[in-house]
Each structure stands twice: as C-alpha cells, then as structure tokens.
Chains A and B, each alone.
Chain A
Amino acid sequence: MMPTSPAKRPRPLSPNIQNYRPQLTSVLSIANRISGVLLSLAAVVLVIWLLAAAAGPEAYAVVQGAFASWLGQVVLFGCTFAFFLHLCGGIRHLVWDMGYGYELGSIYASGWTVVAGSVVLTVLAWIASLVLGG
C-alpha cells in the first residue's frame, strides 16, 4: 500500500493501454488471458455436462440439445478456438520459461505460429467432428 500524499490528485493508471498501437505481442498476451477466462466458463459447462450424464438420459438429452442448437454450436466453436489459442500460447510461454525464444524475430515467429496453429487446429477439430457426427 502506498502512503496517501497530502496533495491528492488523480495519478495516471498503468499501463494506459489505449495509448499504444496494438501489436502481435500485446494482442496475444491479452488474448491468452481472455481465452483463459473464457475456458474457465467452459469448465463450468463441462461439469454441467457430466452432472447431466450422471443424472440420466433425460437430463443428458437436454444438455445435448443445447449443444446441438445453433447458439450452442457457435459457443462450442468459440470454446474450441479459445482452447487451442490458450494451448498454443501456453506452450509458447513454457518455452520462454525454459529460457528460449526471446529474440525479437523468434517472438514474432512463435506468435504467428500460435495464431496459425490455433486456427488450423480449430478447423481440423470441427471437420473431424462433422465427419464423425454426420
């Protein structure tokens, strides 16, 4: 806690994000956090799904019906993309944590790999799902 100064005037709050032009690095940083928060909500849906399956065929059918609706499909597609973005972004962070990939070129290369990888994996997952699900 900072001691309160006698002359109080509003101090600028870091990091003044609106003053900066969005860059791949900053966008992926906040995207990792946003996707993480969204996946927390998806985890709640996972528990509801398991509880419905444990409750019986009727409850399970209600949840499956919600998943099959167009809104459910849009949400599930969003969850899939959030998952692969967070997965790829997380692996990028783990590589950094091991001390690799800090050169500016590497940071942009890994960043675009995360973007392309999560788009491709999301599309592949849904193609597989549509092929298997008919």
Chain B
Amino acid sequence: MDRQHMRSPLARAMGLGSAKKGVEHWWAERVSAVALIPLTLWFVASIIAQTGSDHATFITWLRTPVATIMMVLLLVALFHHTALGLQVVIEDYRHAGAKFAALVIMRLSCFGLATAGIIATLHIAFGG
C-alpha cells in the first residue's frame, strides 16, 4: 500500500503525521542526533586531550574560537536532543497531571541548563 495515501494532502503538505506534532518531533530528534555525532566525538576527543590539565590550560583551550563555537553548538544540540528524548520517556510512563508537571519541569530545566552552559562558555571566551 502507498503510505502517502494514508494522509490527507494538507497533512502531507504541513509535514504532520497521524496526530499533533509527531512527525516534527521525530525529525527534530534525528536532526539533533546527526548534529551530535561530530559534536560529541569532538568533545570526547578534546576532554581526553585535556585529562589532568589545570584551570589555566583548560581556559586557554576553551578560549580558542573553534573550541568556543563547538562547545556552544554542543550545548544547543545536546539539550535540544535531551528535551526531545526525555519528553518521550515521560509521555510513556507518566500520565495526566504528573505528565504535564514533569514535562514542564524537564523542558524548563533543559532551557536553564543550556543557557547556563552557554553563558559560562562565553564568559570564559570573552571574560578578562
């Protein structure tokens, strides 16, 4: 069967799935996953290279433009992917009121942590 015919032309044009935001969520999770492959491998290789280094060495490394840019990109993609993934976990195991509260707390925490990490990185990069 042609799967395309299971959806209305409007739903297909808008990229919507069977209901609500399923397709959008599915795509965002995969796009952030693909972005995280190079970003996390860079991060792991970098912290291996930084093993045992003191504060000054670490700061000097993070202040290099490539490291600053990669760290900010990592934080954006990481917390976007984390929020999407944890959303599915919460939706699978929590229902009704508890689900709503957990989703709000999780989403706000991801925004807060991403912002804190980015500000810390920029503070190191541009601070005196």
Give the interface size bracket for B toward A.
Answer: 20 to 34
Return chain A residues, CB-CB under 8 Å to B113. 43-44, 47
Contact of A50 among B30, B40, B52, B120 (CB under 8 A): B120
Contact A53 B37 (CB under 8 A): no
Can you list the 7 inter-chain pairs with the closest CB atoms, starting with the nearest?
A133-B51, A133-B52, A54-B120, A50-B120, A57-B55, A47-B117, A60-B55
Q: Which residue of B lies closest to A59 (CB)?
A: B55
- What are some 22 contacts across the A-B interface (CB < 8 A)? A33-B89, A36-B85, A36-B86, A43-B79, A46-B75, A46-B117, A50-B117, A50-B120, A53-B58, A53-B124, A54-B120, A54-B124, A54-B127, A87-B40, A90-B33, A91-B37, A94-B34, A129-B51, A132-B48, A132-B49, A132-B51, A132-B52
Contact B33 A94 (CB under 8 A): yes
Contact A128 B48 (CB under 8 A): yes
Contact A53 B49 (CB under 8 A): no
Q: Which applies to chain A's interface (DSSP): helix, strand, loop or mixed?
A: helix
A interface size (C-beta, 8 A): 32
Return chain A residues, CB-CB under 8 Å to B49. 132
